[in-house]
Structure 1
Amino acid sequence: MAPTAVGDFTLTTELETHGSKLAIGERTSFHLAGFLFRGRGNGHGLGMSQWGARGRAAAGQDYRKILAAYYAGTRIENRDTTGLVRIALTDEPIDLARPWPRLFGPLPFVAGPLTVDGLPQLQVAAGSSLGFDASASGQPEVFTLAADGSRGAPVVIGHPLAIRTASAAGIRTNIMQIMGGDFRPGAEQRRYAGLLQIIPKGAGRVLPVNVLPMEDYLKGVVPAEMPPYWGVEALKAQAIAARTFAIRKLGQGGDFDLRASESDQAYSGLTDQREESNAAVDGTRGQVLTYQGQLITAFYMASDGGHTESSEFRFVGWDNGPQLRSHLGYLTGISDAFDRGPSWQVGPFTASGAATVLRDNGRDIGDRLLGIDVLQKDPSGRLVGVRVRGSSKSVEISGPTLRAWFGLPDTLVAIVGGG
C-alpha cells in the first residue's frame, strides 16, 4: 500500500475473516519525509478524454455527441482518405553501428516471404528473413538470413529500400520502438500492412517507415489507443479523432508523416487489430472534424481528471509569469463527470533526491528542496507555475516543466509534504 501523505505514522496489519479481526505483527512507528505528488488525469488535458469517451458511451451517448462535447463548435465532414500515409516505426533512427545493443537480442530483421524493389538478390522465402547490420566502416547493410543463421552477401543501404510481401499476414518484423537510439529487440514481433521502407540516415543509422493506406493505418491506431471493449460509440469517436489528427499531419515533407508512438499516435500495425475497432474505422470511413471549415488538430489524451484543458494553457511556459498559447475555440476546457480514470501518486521524493532532480535538469537549488509553492493554476485546476524553494536558492518553473522533470502523468496535482 502506497503512502498518501508525509509525516509520522503508526503501521499495523490486520486480517479480517468471517467477522473476526486478527492483529498480525507489532505496531511500527516511522517518519516519512519528503514530497508526494497526488493527482488525477493522464496526458496534456486537451480535447477528447478517452476515459471520458468510455463513460459517455456507457451512458448512451453516440459518437457525434461525444465528439461535440470535447471539440466545441466542430462539424463532422467527409474527406477523401484513399491516399497513403508514412509512419515512422521508431521515434529516432536505429543506430546499427553501435555494438552493445546487440547484447539484448538478435539483430533487426524482417521475416519472409519478401521482395525488395530493384534488388532481386534480396528476395527471401518463408522461413528466411532480411537482416540488418553495419559494416566495418559504419555503413548500414542488409543481407539475406537463412533459417540456419547463415548470411548472404551484404548490400550497402545507400538509398531507401522498399520491402514488400505477398503474405496476407503482412510484413513481420522485430523492429519496433527504441530508446535513445538503441535497438532493443525482444520476443515481441509485429506485423504491418503495406510496404516497409528502410531509409538510410547516415553514420550507420536507418529509419524504418511503414507506408500504407490511411484507413488501414487507422485500424492499427484505434486498438493501440483504446481497448476494444470500451464500447462501439467510444471507438467511433476515437477513430474520427485519430483520422483527423493524422490527415492534419500530411504533406509536411520529410521522411514520414507521423510517428508510431504517443509522440503522435500509438500504432501497432496488424498485430492488435480487433473486429470491434476495425468496425469503428469502417463505420466512420472518411469522417473528420472541422471548425469553421478547416480541419482541427484533434488532440486527445487518456484521462482529463474531471476537467479538460483550454488551448491557451497547452504546454504553457513560465518566465516571471505565464507564457500562454493562442486560444482555439474548439479546445475550451469543460467539466467532465464522465471521466472516471484512476487517480495516481508519484513519490515520495526525499528533500535531497528532489534537489538532485532539479540539478540534473540544470537548476541547482542547493542540496535540499525545502518546498514547492503554487504560483498559479488554470481554470481546470492544473498547475501553470510553481516556485521551487531550495536550501541555497529558489527558482520558478512552469507546471508542464515540473511534470516532465518529476515524471508526473498530468499537472492536475497536489503537492504534499516538505523538507
Structure 2
Amino acid sequence: MARTATMLRRSALLPAAALVAAMVGGGLASPAQAAAPTANATAVSTTGVTVYGAGFGHGRGLSQYGAKAAAKKGLTGAKIAGFYYPGAALTSKGNPALRIRLSAIDGGNFTFSPVTGTTVSGIVATAATGKKVTLPAQPGWHVARSGANYVVQKKVGNRWTTAYTLAAPVTFSGPKTLKLTYNKAKTDCRGGGTVTFDGSLTATTSDNAPRYVAKMPIDTYLRGVVASEMPSSWPAAALQAQTLAARTYATAKISASRYYDVIDTQQNQCWDGAVSETAATNAAITATAGKVLTVGGKVISAEFSSDSGGFTATGGVSYLPTKADPYSLASGSPAINWVKVVTPAQLAAIDGPAGLLKVTAVKVTKRSSGGRWGGRADSFDLTGTVAGGKTTTVSITGTTFRVKLGLKSTYLGFRK
C-alpha cells in the first residue's frame, strides 16, 4: 500500500480497510469536536500533553478517503489519480510477473495443503540443479530448509518423513492454485495461518535463512491487494484509483537486484492472496488492466495513505507535491481531526531507558509541506532530565515522535 520512519517503513501507509474500526475507537474527534493546534511548543504537565492533529498516515500521494470523496463527486479513477499524482501519465505496461516475499515464514517452513478435495496433487518441484520431481498426491507436503537444500516431506503416521532432498532454490509449480499453511501465523494485514493464490512458489535462501517467494502476474497479485488496502464497498472510481496506485507502486519495485520485488505487508502493500478478492475490486483491476502512472516514461513511486488531513505532504518529486486536498476534507473521514493525550511516561519512553527520565517540554523545531499550523512536524526537541538531574535536550524526527506515541500523523501541534 508505502511508511518511512525510524521504526516503520511503508509507502502505502495504513490501509483504510484495516483501519476504519481502529480509527473510530482510537481517540479521534470529529471536526466540530477537535480543537486546532495553535502552538509549536508546550510544557509537560503532570498529566502530560494534548496533541491535536489531522489525517492518518504520511499524506504523500493518493489519500484513500479523498479518493472516496472525489469519486462521489463524479471524478473517474484516472482523474482522481491525476489529482494526487499531477503530471503523471497513464501508460500501458502489460502484466509483468511479480515476486512477493512471504513475510510470515521468513526463516520458517510451510505445508502444501489441499485447495479442494483431500489431497495435494500435480505439484512439480524443480531444484537449482535442474532436477524435477513430480510430487505424488498426498494429504499434504511439508517443506523446510536443510543446510544448502530443501527437504520435501510427507506424513508417515504422526511424523514428517523426508521424501526428497533438493538443492536450493527450489521452485514449486504445476497446479493453477497453491495453498500454503504457515508454521506460524502472519500478524500483519489480514493475518492468518494460510494463503491461497494462483502462481508458483520458490524456496530460496538469503542471509543464511529460508525465504519463500510467490510469483504471479501483477494483476493476479493485485486481486489480493486492492481490497486489503481499500474497502471494496467504496465507489468504483475510488477502487480504480487505488488499483492504479497499487499497480504503479508494485511495478516500480520490480528489480533484478534482489530475490523478491515486494513484501506482503504494510512495509510495501498488504497482500493476502485469494481471501482478499472481491467482485468489486477485481472489476477495478480489469477496468484498469495494464495501466500504470509514469513521468518522463518512468514508472513513479505511487505512494498513498489513508487520509491527508486536507493537505498532501511533499515526497520531494514533482508528482508528489504538497497541495490542498479538498476531497479529503469533504470525505467524512474519522481521522480528519484527532486528539490524543500523551502521558509523561510515554514521552520519556521515546528516548529509551538510557535517556531522558523525565520530559518537561516538547517543541516542534521544523515543519514542511504546508497546510494548517505551518505544515507537518518534521522534527522535535524533547527537553528534560537524565540520571543525576542534568537538564538535557534530545532531538528526534517527526516520524519517530509519531510512531513511538502511536499518533495518526505528523500533521499535528499542541494547544496553548
TM-score range, shorter chain: 0.7 to 0.9
Given residue 382 of structure 2, which amino acid in structure 1 is its aligned partner? V
| Correspondence for 2:321 among 309, 332, 343 | 332
Work out whether residues 47 and 298 of structure 1, in 8 Å CA contact, stay in contact via their aligned partners in 2.
Answer: yes
| Correspondence for 1:220 among 221, 224, 238 | 224
| Correspondence for 2:214 among 210, 230, 233 | 210
Work out whether residues 196 and 275 of structure 2, in 8 Å CA contact, stay in contact via their aligned partners in 1.
Answer: yes
Distance 1:295 1:147 in 2: 50
Distance 2:223 2:304 in 1: 17
Distance 1:4 1:226 in 2: 20
Deviation at 1:369, TM superposition (A): 0.8
| Correspondence for 1:342 among 310, 334, 342 | 334
Given residue 376 of structure 1, which amino acid in structure 2 is its aligned partner? K
Deviation at 1:407, TM superposition (A): 2.9
2:12 counterpart residue number: none
Given residue 334 of structure 1, which amino acid in structure 2 is its aligned partner? K
Deviation at 1:122, TM superposition (A): 7.1
2:379 counterpart residue number: 385
Deviation at 1:175, TM superposition (A): 6.2
Distance 2:310 2:345 in 1: 33
1:23 counterpart residue number: none
Deviation at 1:416, TM superposition (A): 5.8
CA 1:32 to 1:389, structure 2 compared with 1: closer, same or farther past 3 Å? closer
Q: Do structure 1's residue 84 and structure 2's residue 106 form an aligned pair?
A: no
Please show how residues 230-379 of structure 1 align to structure 2 within 5 Å. Answer: 230-312=234-316, 328-339=317-328, 340=331, 341-343=333-335, 348-360=341-353, 364-365=355-356, 367-378=357-368, 379=370
CA 1:147 to 1:59, structure 2 compared with 1: closer, same or farther past 3 Å? farther
- After superposition, the CA RMSD in angstroms is 3.2
1:131 counterpart residue number: 142
Please show how residues 96-111 of structure 1 align to structure 2 within 5 Å. Answer: 96=108, 108-111=110-113
Distance 1:95 1:239 in 2: 31
1:401 counterpart residue number: 400
2:42 counterpart residue number: none
Q: Do structure 1's residue 47 and structure 2's residue 39 form an aligned pair?
A: no
More RCO (CA 8 Å, sep 6+) = 2
Listed one character per residue, the Cα deviations across residues 72-105 of structure 1 (whole Å, up to 9, x for unaligned) are 1222121232x311111118x6234xxxxxxxxx
Deviation at 1:56, TM superposition (A): 0.9
What percent of counterpart residues are identical?
25
Work out whether residues 143 and 151 of structure 1, in 8 Å CA contact, stay in contact via their aligned partners in 2.
Answer: no
Larger gyration radius, structure 1 or structure 2: 1
Distance 1:189 1:72 in 2: 39
Deviation at 1:405, TM superposition (A): 2.6
Deviation at 1:69, TM superposition (A): 0.9
Distance 2:236 2:286 in 1: 12
Aligned pair count?
353
Return the TM-score normalized by structure 1.
0.75
CA 1:383 to 1:202, structure 2 compared with 1: closer, same or farther past 3 Å? closer
Please show how residues 117-156 of structure 1 align to structure 2 within 5 Å. Answer: 117=126, 123-125=135-137, 128-133=139-144, 141-146=150-155, 149-153=158-162, 155=164
- Which deviates more from structure 2 when the two are superposed, residues 153-162 or residues 269-278? 153-162
Specify the SS of the correspondent of 2:103: coil
Given residue 213 of structure 1, which amino acid in structure 2 is its aligned partner? P
Deviation at 1:206, TM superposition (A): 0.9
CA 1:415 to 1:178, structure 2 compared with 1: closer, same or farther past 3 Å? farther
Work out whether residues 368 and 390 of structure 1, in 8 Å CA contact, stay in contact via their aligned partners in 2.
Answer: yes
Given residue 298 of structure 1, which amino acid in structure 2 is its aligned partner? A
Deviation at 1:207, TM superposition (A): 0.8
Distance 1:163 1:47 in 2: 37
Distance 1:411 1:383 in 2: 5
Work out whether residues 78 and 241 of structure 2, in 8 Å CA contact, stay in contact via their aligned partners in 1.
Answer: yes
Listed one character per residue, the Cα deviations across residues 252-304 of structure 1 (whole Å, up to 9, x for unaligned) are 42111111112111111222111111111111111111223332211111111
CA 1:52 to 1:393, structure 2 compared with 1: closer, same or farther past 3 Å? same
- Which structure 1 residue ranges, 5 or more long, are not aligned? 6-30, 97-106, 181-185, 313-327
